[in-house]
Structure formats: C-alpha cells, structure tokens
Amino acid sequence: MTTRLRDWFKENWLLVTIVAAIAAGYILLAQHPSNIGTSDQFLASLKQGEPTVISFYSNF
C-alpha cells in the first residue's frame, strides 16, 4: 500500500504542489472580518492617520 502511494506521489508531485500552493495562498490571503461595528468606529479608524484599505461586501 505504501509503495503504491509513494509511486502516486512521484507521478503527481507537480499537481500536489500546485494544489497545496493554491490552498496555502487562500488561507494566508483570505480577508477576515474586522472589529468595526458602527459607522462611528469606522470614521474614528479613518482619522487615526494610518493607511487604510476598505472593502465592502454584501450578500445582496
């Protein structure tokens, strides 16, 4: 059984590497929700003087 699995990985190492890289990229680069809950908190975060990236998401 392990010989067959080892042979499969030897034949498909490039595919496994590409799929693993895509999965790792998604996990590392996925956007996570912020802790901003109100518009006042949003405006306060803009006035802090730090660079800010804003992205809006809607289910509608």
Best CA proximity match to 57, nearest among 33, 35, 37: 33
Residue 19 lies in a domain: yes
Which positions ≥6 away from 46 have C-beta within 8 Å? 52
pLDDT along the chain (60 residues), means of 10: 90 97 94 82 87 79
The predicted structure's pLDDT at residue 16: 96
Residue 14 lies in a domain: yes
The predicted structure's pLDDT at residue 4: 93
Residue 58 lies in a domain: no
pTM: 0.54
The predicted structure's pLDDT at residue 57: 75
What's the total number of domains in the chain? 1
**CA–CA separation, 23 and 58 (whole Å):** 24
